[in-house]
Amino acid sequence: MPGKNKKILVATTNPGKIVELKALLEADVKWLSLADFSDIAEVPENGLTFTENACKKAIGYAKATGLWTIADDSGLVIDTLEGGPGIESARFCGQICEDRKLIDHKNIAKVLKLLEGIPTEKRTARFVCSLCLASPEEILIETQGTLEGLITEKEIGEKGFGYDPIFFVPHLNKTVAQLTTEEKNAISHRGNAIRKLKPLLTALI
Ligand code: ITT
């Protein structure tokens, strides 16, 4: 059984996710990221659901490092695109490169093009986040969180990452890219998934 000061690996390459996860988890552990392991093989995200992918990543990196590992798989689910881009959210534009801002912009452009002419009431969508904590032997915790909203017709706001500038939250009358980190964490899919995971993690460590 782990004691205090346990090391936990946050298995993501997305800096936006790392900031949000560390800010919200606040557990008495030492956090490591994939940047702390130079030659670790990438675990493929070839599952069919967010949960399957989060669990594959968590158990894969836990086995590779010997550490308890938290992985996130998340994305944007748009009703009029029959759930797309879904698990393809990170590479919806068909490209992948180091420049995340550029890819985010291309992904957003593709969504806006596909939704051209679709009226506001049919632009319903949700962000979904699945989290998984695994040891090298087994899956320990799985949680999921969502955030409901509408896809805008253009980019609004500069904060956050990914699809935040086109995701409008009606009760706040703002896109997620107009929210501070604290405001986003309070309502977001990742925030909601982390809030479910936190007491379960605390009970384990
Ligand atoms: P890792 O696999 O290394 O964690 P990734 O960015 O490739 O990083 P995913 O496969 O989970 O992660 O893809 C999630 C994509 O969904 C992400 O790149 C964004 O485009 C989008 N996304 C997820 N959470 C988001 C958020 O909070 N705000 C905006 N877009 C988000």
Residue 94 is part of a domain; what is its CATH number? 3.90.950.10
Whole-angstrom distance, CA of residue 145 vs CA of residue 62 = 23
Confidence (pLDDT) at 5: 62
Torsion of CA 6, 12, 14, 18, to 10 degrees: -20
Ligand 1 center–CA 75 separation, angstroms: 6
> How sure is the predictor about 1, in pLDDT bands with cuts at 50, 70 and 90?
very low
The mean predicted confidence, pLDDT, of the chain is 93
Angle, CA of 156, 107 and 177, to the nearest 5° = 25
**pLDDT tens-digit series, residues 38-81:** 889 999 999 999 999 999 999 999 999 999 999 999 999 999 99
Is the shortest distance between the CB of 10 and ligand 1 below 6 Å? no
Q: For residue 1, is it within any domain? A: no
**pLDDT tens-digit series, residues 137-182:** 999 999 999 999 999 999 999 999 999 999 999 999 999 999 999 9
Tally of domains in the chain: 1
Q: In what order do the strands lie in the sheet with 174-175?
A: 29-33, 6-10, 68-78, 124-134, 139-151, 167-169, 174-175
The two tokens of residue 110 are 């593709």
The residue segments making up the domain with residue 34 are: 7-204
Give yes or no for residue 19 having a pLDDT over 70.
yes
Q: For residue 117, is it within any domain? A: yes
Give yes or no for residue 3 having a pLDDT over 90.
no
**pLDDT tens-digit series, residues 73-105:** 999 999 999 999 999 999 999 987 889 899 999
Ligand 1 center–CA 59 separation, angstroms: 19
Contact criterion met (CB below 8 Å) for 205 and 143: no
Neighbours of 13 (CB within 10 A): 12
Is the shortest distance between the CB of 157 and ligand 1 below 6 Å? no
- Catalytic residue chosen out of the listed positions 72, 73, 104, 164: 73
Confidence (pLDDT) at 195: 95
Q: For residue 2, is it within any domain? A: no
Q: For residue 126, is it within any domain? A: yes
The two tokens of residue 37 are 């392991």
